[in-house]
Amino acid sequence: MTAGLIAAPGTGTDVPLAVWPASTAPLPRGGLSVGGVDLAEVAERFGTPAYVLDEGEVRARCRAYRAAFPDGEVLYAAKAFLSRAMARWVREEGLGLDVCSAGELELAVTAGFPPGRTVLHGNAKSPADIADAVRLGVGRIVVDSTSEIARIAAAVGPRGRQKVLVRVVPGVSAGGHAKIRTGTEGQKFGLSAADGSAQDAVARVLARPELELAGLHCHIGSQITSAEPYLAALRRMTGLLARIRDDHGVALPELDLGGGHGIAYRPGEPALGPETLAAALRTELAARCGAAGLPVPRLSVEPGRAVVGPAGVALYRVLAVKRTGGTVFVAVDGGMSDNPRPALYGVRYAPRLIGRAPGAAPPVTATVVGRHCEAGDVLATDVELPGDVRPGDLLGIPAAGAYHLSMASAYNMVGRPPVVAVHEGAARLLVRRETLGDLRLRDVGD
C-alpha cells in the first residue's frame, strides 16, 4: 500500500513517494495524481488549503485490517477523521466504529452506521453523552471511572441492559510523544490495575443488573511502531482476566487493546502494519490464555491514523519566500489552524512541489511555515525544496489524513479547509470550506 520510488519528471532523480497514497502517479511537468485525479486541478477547482482523501486507499486499509484480524473486531477510531462518507466507507468495509462523544455517534448513526457496531469512549462522558449512547443503542460503553457506572445504569433503567468494558491502565509506556502516551499511571485515562481501581470497577459493574461486563479495554498510546508494547499490555491484561476469573468466577469474552498503530510521515520512517501486529498478538494471546486456563477472548483493535492517515494529502499555496538568518522560510496559506500537530507533538512532514518542474537552481533546505501569528506555526523543518520555489507554487504534504480536520480550529478567524475525496479519476466534495460568513453567523452579540 505504498507508492515506492517514482521518478520525478524533469528532474532526473528519484523522489521518494513511499508515504503517499498507493494510487499516486507522476504527471508531466512535475505534476502528481492521486486516485486518478491531478492534484493541481483539485487545487484550482476547490482552492487551497484543502485536504485530499483517497477513497481507494481508505478502503484498502480497512480490508487489510479485516484480513489481519478475521476472528476479531476492528473498530475505526473516528477521532482521527469522521464524515458521513467516511462512516459509509468504514461500514461497507466491515469495520466497527470507536467514538468519543455524542457528536461523533450522532453523525455516524444519522449517516446509516449501525449503532450496535459502535463503542463509546471518553474519560469524562457527560450525562447527555451517556443518555444519547443508550438511546441510540450503542454496542458497548467503555467505563473510565467508577462514577460512570451508576450513571450508565441509571440511563439504562431497570428494564434494560447495556454492555460495557472497563478501561484498564496496564502500566505500559508507549507512543511518539509524552502527550499521547496513555497506558501509564499518572494520566487521565482509565483505572489502575496496580492500585486496585480497575478491580473495584469490575466488581461494581458485576453487581449492577442493568450492566453486562463484556470485557476489558486498554489503550497505551499513539504512533507506536513496534508490536512489543502491545504484547506487554496483552500480558498484563490477560493476567487481570485470570484474576477476575478467580475472584468472580467470570471468564470475560472480550479484550480490546485500543489503537495507536504508527504510520510513516517521512520516507524511511517505520510503520506498524496490521499483519505484523495481528500475528504477534494472536500467538501471545493463545499462549497466555492457555497457560492461565482461560478461554481465548475475542480481540478488538481500534486503528484510526493507520486507516486514514496515509490516505490524505494537504495542499497549500506558497504565499512568500524569504531568507532570514540563514534560514529559508516558505510561507503557505494554511498552518496550525488546519494542522496543529507539529506545534503540539513535533511531527515532521515531507512537503513536495507539485504542478511544475523545478528550475536549474540547486535544491535548498527550507522551513515551511504557516500564516498565523505564532512563532510555533511551523509545518515542516529542514525539508528539501527546489531552489526556485516561489509564491504561487503548490505544495503537497502526504500522510495528512488523520487529526488534521478533526483538530482544526478557526484561529485568526481563518476558516477550516474542505475535504475532497478522489477515486477512480473523479473528485467530489465531502466537507465544504468554512467561510467567513460561517464564522460571522456564530457571533450573536451586539
User: Looking at the annotation, which residues are catalytic?
Assistant: 373
C-alpha cell at 194: 496496580
Quick check: 54 and 41 in contact, CB under 8 A? no
Collapsed DSSP state (helix, strand, coil) of residue 403: coil
C-alpha cell at 342: 507539529
Nearest-5° angle of CA 114, CA 118, CA 119?
165
C-alpha cell at 323: 531568507
Grid coordinates 478501561 are at which residue? 167
Per-residue b/e over 357-383, b at no fewer than 16 CB within 10 Å?
Answer: ebeeeeebebbbbbbbeeeebbbbeeb
Quick check: 378 and 367 in contact, CB under 8 A? yes
Tell which residue, 28, 82, 83, 93, has the closest CA to residue 56. 93
Per-residue b/e over 261-297, b at no fewer than 16 CB within 10 Å?
Answer: bbbbbbbeeebbbbeebbebbbebbeebbeeeebeeb
Quick check: 145 and 123 in contact, CB under 8 A? yes
CA 290 to each of CA 3, 90, 235: distance values in angstroms, whole numbers, following the listed order: 41, 34, 12
Q: Which residues contact 304 (CB under 8 A, 6 or more apart)?
A: 76, 77, 78, 79, 80, 81, 98, 259, 402
